[in-house]
Amino acid sequence: MNFEIFGPWGWMIAGILLCAAEMLAPGMFMLWIGLAALATGMTLFAVPLGFAWAAILFGVFAVISLLLGRKFYGSRGVEGDRPFLNKRAEALIGRAYVLDQAITAGEGRIRVNDSTWRVRGADMAPGTRVKVTGIEDGVVLRVEAA
């Protein structure tokens, strides 16, 4: 099929359709590809190019628009009302607890509400008050005497 018959209007229509599809399936991805297609169409109005060159130009515009979109919209850190929702261990840092099991050979357990957590630190007797200072291996708490 000869794609050159669509020319700049084909790119403009494709861009508009991709931007419109973003409304049906939001995710901010089709928007940037649609903008790249629109930019390709506008460029082809000014500079007539063959389909191969237009496709290369579209690829360049797509990469640029995706990078710009990611820079301005993808890096926004949305902080909710519960910042530790999926980071339970991080929420424990700085808090003090009582050792449920003695720390022997560097490992023990503390009770936090209705669960127990593995802890690492200097050897201590059960009932000792400890402070959580960090996280190891994602699930083991580093503690020191409070």
CATH of domain 88-145: 2.40.50.140
Q: Give the pLDDT score at 142.
A: 94
Q: What is the mean pLDDT of the chain?
A: 88
* pLDDT one-digit tens code per residue, 19-64: 999 888 877 789 999 999 999 999 999 998 988 999 999 999 999 9
Which regions of the chain carry the CATH code 2.40.50.140?
88-145
Rounded to 5 degrees, φ, ψ at 20 are -70, -35
Give, to the nearest 10 degrees, the angle between helix 30-46 and helix 51-69.
140
Please give the DSSP secondary-structure letter assigned to residue 126.
T
pTM of the model: 0.53
No. of helices (H) and no. of strands (E), the chain: 4, 5
Q: How confident is the model at residue 79 (pLDDT cuts 50, 70, 90)?
A: low
- Specify whether the CB–CB gap between 51 and 4 falls below 8 A: yes
- Specify whether the CB–CB gap between 92 and 117 falls below 8 A: yes
* pLDDT one-digit tens code per residue, 80-122: 666 666 778 888 999 999 999 999 999 999 999 888 999 999 9
Neighbours of 135 (CB within 10 A): 15
CA torsion 87-93-99-101 (nearest 10°) is: 40
